A = this chain, B = another copy of it.
């Protein structure tokens, strides 16, 4: 309001940050929740980020790194590296003669789909634990939020 007032005490500023920062809370939740799923998925040799990417790719169908990045809000370079690991695991593959020519769409393999089917019970176990931690209310809020990010208002 008034730029000439003395700066507010650092203590107050930090109290405001500690009490309200959305980023701190988002990252905290992400860390804790990721840990829950990593624990359940570990026996299958796949981790949380890889599982997420695999599911997104099944959902999207054959897609280029750039397309996946736009939908999943990840940098192209991140996908170049993460997909390389998933390729070597045989969960995904490059679709041969697809797309115009510059892009090289990737798709989930049969092995990738089978893996998802096999680990489904463990994933549900993790879901259950997450629900306990976040309560049904929290789960719904997060679901709604994320869906809003994934499906931005279509250009009319």
Using a CB–CB cutoff of 8 Å, the interface residues on chain A facing chain B are 7-8, 10, 13-14, 16-18, 20-37, 48-49, 51-52, 55-56, 58-59, 72-74, 113-114, 116-117, 120, 123, 126-127, 130-131, 133-135, 137-139, 141-150
Contacts and interface: CB of A to CB of B under 8 A. Distances in A.
Contacts of A20: 127, 143
Nearest to A143: B25
A56 B135 CA distance: 25
A141 B130 contact: no
Contacts of A130: 22-23
15 contacts: A10-B114, A17-B123, A18-B55, A18-B58, A20-B127, A22-B127, A23-B48, A24-B51, A26-B26, A26-B33, A27-B34, A32-B73, A135-B148, A138-B144, A141-B141
A90 to B, nearest CB: 16
A79 to B, nearest CB: 12
A109 B127 CA distance: 41
A107 B48 CA distance: 33
B25 A142 contact: yes
A145 B17 contact: no
Contact of A113 (B14, B24, B36, B148): B14
A52 B30 contact: no
Contact of A13 (B33, B117, B135, B142): B117
